Amino acid sequence: MSSSDASTHISPFLLGLTGDIASGKSTVAKLLQKRGAAVIDADHLVRELYSDPNFAQQIQALFPETDVLTANGGIDRALLGGVVFGDEGKLRVLEALVHPQVEALRAQKIQQLSTHNVVVLEAVKLVESGQANICHALWWIRSRPDTQFARLVSERGLSEIEAIARLRNQPPPEIKARLMQELCIPITMIHNDGTLEDLETNVQAAWEALSF
């Protein structure tokens, strides 16, 4: 691993971090923060957008048959999830509105973090949405479906039916892999089906292999 001198550092090294739901992206992000990286979590960006009453109204207009607003005028994510998960058409309509706004907000955050050597861009659909194109390297966190299912139920409190619905709405890994082949950046796959100690060992090895 190498780093630029602070006096010549102009812009951060952008490390893309992706993987399906409950694969362990957030855990990897925390391990990267321990190593000095700044992290921009797409889910946090979505939460910020959903709390904006003006943006919430745009989402509500997409699904007029269901009230998805909170008392404060933001988006009730649980209600919205009930509308789009299990309905691929509605999910795609929502993503067409949300993804460009997330991308714009992410660009602002990157600008604010320009003094950091490494900024991690974490998102489930970082590759599918095209936002991996701005990254200098990409990490793909992989877990078996049974591991993901167990985490969704035990750690996130979803019912088995809800967990299955979330997993079924994931793009096939073959699609993500094919899109990655079009990226002209180093790609590292990190498997996360073992212990936290196993994961930290894998993260450390991948971190040391980075050049920034």
- Of 115, 142, 174, the domain-final residue: 115
Residue found under tokens 């997993």: 167
Q: What pLDDT is recorded for position 103? A: 86
Q: Are residues 101 and 67 in the same domain?
A: yes
Q: Are residues 67 and 143 in the same domain?
A: no
For 119-134, the DSSP string reads EEEE-TTTTTTTGGGG
Q: What pLDDT is recorded for position 10? A: 52
Q: Are residues 156 and 72 in the same domain?
A: no
CATH code for the domain in which residue 190 is found:
3.40.50.300
Q: Are residues 126 and 31 in the same domain?
A: yes
Q: Are residues 102 and 203 in the same domain?
A: no
Q: Which two tokens stand for residue 164?
A: 């299955």
CA atoms within 13 A on the CB side of 21: 20
Question: Domain count of the chain?
Answer: 2
- Of 89, 115, 141, the domain-final residue: 115
Q: Are residues 110 and 121 in the same domain?
A: no
Q: Are residues 66 and 143 in the same domain?
A: no
Number of helices (H), then strands (E), belonging to the chain: the values are: 9, 5
Q: Is it the case that residue 70 has pLDDT exceeding 70?
A: yes
Confidence of residue 8 (pLDDT cuts 50, 70, 90): very low
The model's pLDDT over 116-156, given as tens digits with 9 standing for 90+, comes to 999 999 998 899 888 899 999 999 999 999 999 999 999 99
Task: Please state the pTM of the whole predicted model.
Answer: 0.84
Domain residues for 65? Answer: 46-115
The model's pLDDT over 152-199, given as tens digits with 9 standing for 90+, comes to 999 999 999 999 988 988 888 899 999 999 999 999 999 999 999 999
- Of 100, 115, 130, the domain-final residue: 115
Q: Is it the case that residue 82 has pLDDT exceeding 70?
A: yes
The model's pLDDT over 42-64, given as tens digits with 9 standing for 90+, comes to 999 999 999 999 999 999 999 99
Q: What pLDDT is recorded for position 201? A: 97
Q: Are residues 70 and 166 in the same domain?
A: no
